[in-house]
Amino acid sequence: MFEKARPSRDVAAEITNLIIKKLEEGVPPWSRPWRVQGSGGRPLRHCGTPYTGINTFYLWAIGDAQGYRSRYWMTYRQAEALGGNVRRGESGSLSVYYSSFKKIEANPITGAEKERSIRFLRHYIVFNADQIDGLPAYYYPPIEDPEPIDLSVHQAEIDRFFAAIPAEVRHGGDQAYFAPTLDYIQMPHQRTFRTMDHYASVRAHETTHWTGGTTRLARAFGKRFGDKAYSFEELVAEIGSGLVCAHLGLPNELHDSHASYVAHWLSILRGDKTAIIHAASRAEQAFNYMLAFSEHPDAAPPAAMSREAGEPLAAAA
């Protein structure tokens, strides 16, 4: 008697459902995890390489929900190779690899061959170091002083990061926005913010918008999102701000001016289970574009990309 085939796992739906749950709880996974996890920053693979794309936000959300303090994630075999043992009863989390391959197909009538691109989503099961015993000590963050730290120590990093980006920034008024027609960023004066870290967070959001300009990444979402395209761009900018804040070691909060978009984000995610993967990928692209100015000041910035341009891939475990 043949065994009934198992239904394939809908990884995109699982990821989207978790993101929706976190949004409904008022805790976007790109906003606060590096404030609650032991050593902060992006999740890391067993070898220390940071995760990218949707893996960053999904593992942040899992780590936040489970209270994991370590940044490190790895497969069962990777843990064994390092001398560790996943504790009995622990459940793994998803790590995805979104890629494509080319396939040559022949027309059954004419015999003409045509190349077709086929996309696929592959997943791996990973465990946080907090679920594993026996790993080298550096995989486990030390117990931290619960007292809040003085974030002003990051001012040099903030200044260095934004000074390298050739965006025009104007200060004044009580609104923050990117004006695409005239290609400038408008910010309230720094003194009106509660802290310089809050200023940096908002500036990162608006600078992410700036990266989508027609002479840069030419970010557009077209018919796929229709009248929700504006809200989708806001989602990309909010995730991009989260990446910048994580990079600079800053807190990132969902500001009141952006709270009205949450309902729109939930609508988008419920209607398209791959939307969050798409948004995370575009935000990662924007972050790398911004980062290139300070990391490679002598190199020309990336050329403008068409709206059909490929997206960076979420790497495997």
Q: In what order do the strands lie in the sheet with 93-106?
A: 73-74, 113-128, 93-106
Give me the DSSP letters along the chain. Answer: -PPPPPPPP-HHHHHHHHHHHHHHTT--TTTSHHHHSSS-SS-B-TTSPBP-THHHHHHHHHHHHHT----BEE-HHHHHHTT-EEPTTPPPEEEEEEEEEEEEEE-TTT--EEEEEEEEEEEEEEEEGGGEES--GGGSPPPPPSSPP-GGGGHHHHHHHHHTS---EEE-SS--EEETTTTEEEE--GGGSSSHHHHHHHHHHHHHHHHTSTTTT----HHHHGGGHHHHHHHHHHHHHHHHHHHHT------HHHHTTHHHHHHHHHH-TTHHHHHHHHHHHHHHHHHHHHH-TTSPPPPP--TT---PPPPP-
**CA 288/CA 240 separation, integer angstroms:** 10
Quick check: 10 and 282 in contact, CB under 8 A?
A: no
Counting the structural domains of the chain, the total is 1
**CA 247/CA 82 separation, integer angstroms:** 27
Q: Which two tokens stand for residue 159?
A: 């200044």
pLDDT one-digit tens code per residue, 239-263? 898 899 889 888 655 444 444 556 6
pLDDT one-digit tens code per residue, 105-160? 777 777 777 877 776 667 889 999 999 999 999 999 877 654 443 445 688 899 99
Residues in the chain: 317
CB atoms under 10 Å from CB of 105, counted, come to: 11
**CA 75/CA 126 separation, integer angstroms:** 4
Residue 222 pLDDT level (bands cut at 50, 70, 90)? low
> Model-level pTM?
0.63
Phi, psi of 50 (to 5 degrees): -70, 145
Q: What is the pLDDT of residue 18?
A: 77
Please report whether residue 272 resides in a domain. yes
- What is the torsional sign of CA 197, 201, 207, 211? positive
Please report whether residue 5 resides in a domain. no
Residue closest to 185 by CA, chosen among 202, 200, 168, 198:
168
Please report whether residue 307 resides in a domain. no
Tell me: pLDDT of 87 over 70.
Answer: yes
Q: What is the 3-state secondary structure (H, E, C) of 238-254?
A: HHHHHHHHHHHCCCCCC
Q: Which two tokens stand for residue 315?
A: 């790497």
Q: What is the 3-state secondary structure (H, E, C) of 32-47?
A: CHHHHCCCCCCCECCC
Please report whether residue 309 resides in a domain. no
pLDDT one-digit tens code per residue, 254-292? 444 444 556 667 777 787 888 888 888 999 999 999 999
pLDDT one-digit tens code per residue, 202-217? 899 999 999 999 999 9
Give 186's contacts (C-beta < 8 A, 6+ positions apart).
169, 170, 171, 172, 173, 175, 176, 177, 178, 179, 206
Give 57's contacts (C-beta < 8 A, 6+ positions apart).
19, 29, 30, 239, 242, 276, 280
Please report whether residue 302 resides in a domain. no
Residue 8 pLDDT level (bands cut at 50, 70, 90)? low
Q: What is the pLDDT of residue 307?
A: 35
What is the pLDDT of the chain when averaged over all its residues? 77
Please report whether residue 16 resides in a domain. yes
Please report whether residue 195 resides in a domain. yes
Q: What is the pLDDT of residue 274?
A: 82
Range of the domain at 72: 11-295
Please report whether residue 3 resides in a domain. no
